[in-house]
Structure 1
Amino acid sequence: MAEANQTEVYVYEKVLILLSCALSFLGSLLIIWTYAIWLDLRTQPRKLLVYLSVADLLSALSYSYGVWRDFETDSVDCITQGAISTFANTSSFFWTVAIAIYLYIFIVRSSQRQADNLVLYFHLISWGVPFAITVAAVSLQKIGYDASEVSVGWCWVNIQAEDHVLWMLLTGKIWEFIAYITLPILYILIKMHIRKAHADLSEYRPILTTSPVSHSLSSTADRKLTIIPIIFILLRVWSTIRFLLLLTGSPARQNPVLVTLHGIGNTFQGAANCIMFVVLTPSIRSRLVALLCCRGQNRVWNPDSESQNRTSAYAANTHSHAEENISPRTCEDDGE
């Protein structure tokens, strides 16, 4: 069955997916690193993003090994790679939903305490459930070679197992389907609440421009994390399509374009999060640029002058996204 239905993975597909894995690995590392070195970025939502990045980093490593090896049969390293990617991928699903739930309670319910109390349960569920499922799948010998039928070179559920569809659901797809339903609902509710809040406060913005903006900075940063569900859906939908095509027995699941999109989508989430929450976030991007300038050109910043510039920026731009108003730190502030 495996050989008859094997999906060929072309060299160019491997190259693109390995590149995606590398970018996701580096992107996840950058998210973790920026959280570690800048204390004021350590909000609870961004900490949850770090946990998601850990899962994405582990996924990128395991997927890259699978694509590089391009397994053709069951083996010890195939099963090991399949187990690691199953755990990391499923954990990524749970952390993505956990972030959406946290933001909904924090923003819509306006209860940070209630949201923070859920973090322990997020850990128990987002790490514990994937681990239990993976251990069960390995113990029952369900993880193995799947002929790239619903993967792209890596191992997942053994395609020769009679109940392989059931285990594909348990080790990923059922949680993916739940995320597809849960995330848009929470995302829409959060966006509706933010728009209503902006409309209600619009007449008071001239007053707010002279007020402290530290709370506005952190709340705007937290709200921006609502984009994570959109990233999740856009990247994951291709693997879902291939799974549904497998259920119907359609040969379209072997289409090279669909296979490539599946491979990139499953491996690019860490990079996509990095682009959105590091590269395209002016506050963090400016700090990274300043850090590179300090290291490359040995520049010395004037703290007093920078403080004045930062104050002026706050007064002029508080009507914009608060994250975009943070000036670069000095070399001294960054620990240089």
Structure 2
Amino acid sequence: MSSHNSSSENLTSSDPISLPPLILGLSFLSCCLSIIGAVVIFATYCLVAVAKNQTRQLLVYLTIADLMTAVGNLIGVVRYALREETEYILEQKEMKYNCTVTDSVCFVQSAVTTFSTLASFFWTSIIMIHILMTLITQQEWSKLVNRVIYNIVAWGVPLVITFLAIGYDVLGEDFFITTGPWCWIKGCMEQDKVINWMALTGKGWEVATYFLTMTFYLIIKFYMVKRSLRFEVRSQNHLREEDELYIMIFFVIIILRVSGTIRFFIAIFKTAHSSNIEKFDAAELGLLYIQSFGDSAQAFANCILFCIRDTAVRQDIWRRIRTCVRCRSPDEEERARLLQNSVN
């Protein structure tokens, strides 16, 4: 019996999984925090002059992709929360006979998040390449031609892959196979086909990003230790000391997304052993709790790492908050600070 028939029989023999409310809550919280974090990153890039360099601009591009992911997943969470359970069950059973069926919200959401997630992987890798080459060449490596190549690759490749998935009609309701309460690859297809498309439209690139960024991190650290130099000495003002935080970006993506990667490899194992990938045990449910928060949280984590932990950016944000509270313009606040220092 084919894996497709096995999966279809399961749809008729059992009700679909109803996700615990906590998973929806974690996903909703993660999406909202990332939207706020993205706004903070955009604002600091526009307002904090000392942090406005090429590396920060690349972070803005990454944040655009992460913002799209957060908004898309938020739409998926709301869609799932507002579903009518009986209609949802009937939809799953209908997909047994017609796997092309999917609602427009699910389709659009899966297309947007497929594109944005892939773009996020590419921009993460590009940031690490930029840091490495800027350190080695001792000059701003992202010249015009490099920036054009960055944008063509980081936006163009995900766009091609997304349109390929749309053309083959594989985007839609995934029944939480390696995902949270949002849509991605249709779970009604043959199990090996589901796995292959998940690898092509996300998980394969995700694992490649893990290894690529980790390799660049080790090369950068080795280079810096070998030269016994830090960023402010090596960079000729093209990188600040605080920009050393950017080489930690691979830790962020691994910590936030590794639970989903583990679930993907569990699905591969189940497919190889002819098990139903739509069923998951308590351990996988625990991973789902972590993934529900982590998959949408990169913009929030980057805000903490590159805004809150960045001394210059943090001090500027705090100064502007105090200025706003006191209803003073930034120039008035600066004059007041200088006057206070002269008195002291």
Q: TM-score range by the shorter chain?
A: 0.7 to 0.9
Aligned to 1:90: 118
Aligned to 2:3: none
Q: Identify unmatched segments of 5+ residues in structure 2.
A: 1-6, 92-101, 271-276
Output the CA distance in 2 between the equivalents of 1:307 and 1:47.
35
Deviations 1:240-283 (A, max 9, x none): 00111111227348733210111111011000000111112221
Q: State the identity %.
A: 28
Q: CA deviation at 1:154?
A: 0.5
Contact 1:149/1:253 (<8 A) preserved: no
Greater Cα offset, 264-273 or 38-47: 38-47
Output the CA distance in 2 between the equivalents of 1:175 and 1:84.
16
Alignment of 1:196 onto 2:226: yes
Residue 215 (structure 2) aligned to one of 164, 169, 185: 185
Equivalent runs, 1:30-179 vs 2, <5 Å:
30-70=40-80, 72=88, 73=91, 74-113=102-141, 117-162=145-190, 163-179=193-209
Residue 308 (structure 2) aligned to one of 270, 279, 283: 279
Alignment of 1:268 onto 2:287: no
Deviations 1:178-235 (A, max 9, x none): 11111111001112222333x368xxx9xx9xxxx99558432332211111101111
Contact 1:6/1:149 (<8 A) preserved: no
Output the CA distance in 1 between the equivalents of 2:156 and 2:207.
19
Aligned to 1:21: 31
Output the CA distance in 1 between the equivalents of 2:229 and 2:309.
28
Output the CA distance in 1 between the equivalents of 2:334 and 2:76.
50
Look up the SS of the partner of 2:295 in the other structure.
Answer: helix
Contact 1:5/1:147 (<8 A) preserved: no
Look up the SS of the partner of 2:74 in the other structure.
Answer: helix
Residues 216 and 7 (structure 1), Cα distance of their counterparts in 2 relative to 1, 3 Å cut: farther
Greater Cα offset, 292-301 or 91-100: 292-301
Output the CA distance in 2 between the equivalents of 1:168 and 1:277.
31
Residue 301 (structure 1) aligned to one of 315, 329, 333: 333
Instruction: Name which structure has the greater RCO, CA cutoff 8 Å, separation 6+.
Output: 2
Q: Over aligned residue pairs, what C-alpha RMSD do you find?
A: 2.7
Residues 167 and 214 (structure 1), Cα distance of their counterparts in 2 relative to 1, 3 Å cut: closer
Amino acid at match of 1:155: C
Contact 1:52/1:96 (<8 A) preserved: yes
Q: How many residues align?
A: 299
Look up the SS of the partner of 2:240 in the other structure.
Answer: helix
Residues 122 and 271 (structure 1), Cα distance of their counterparts in 2 relative to 1, 3 Å cut: same
Look up the SS of the partner of 2:188 in the other structure.
Answer: coil
Aligned to 1:227: 248
Aligned to 1:332: none
Alignment of 1:255 onto 2:284: yes
Q: CA deviation at 1:97?
A: 0.6
Output the CA distance in 2 between the equivalents of 1:27 and 1:136.
31
Output the CA distance in 2 between the equivalents of 1:268 and 1:254.
22
**TM-score normalized with structure 2 length:** 0.79
Q: Identify unmatched segments of 5+ residues in structure 1.
A: 310-336
Output the CA distance in 2 between the equivalents of 1:117 and 1:222.
23
Q: CA deviation at 1:111?
A: 4.5
Q: CA deviation at 1:176?
A: 0.8
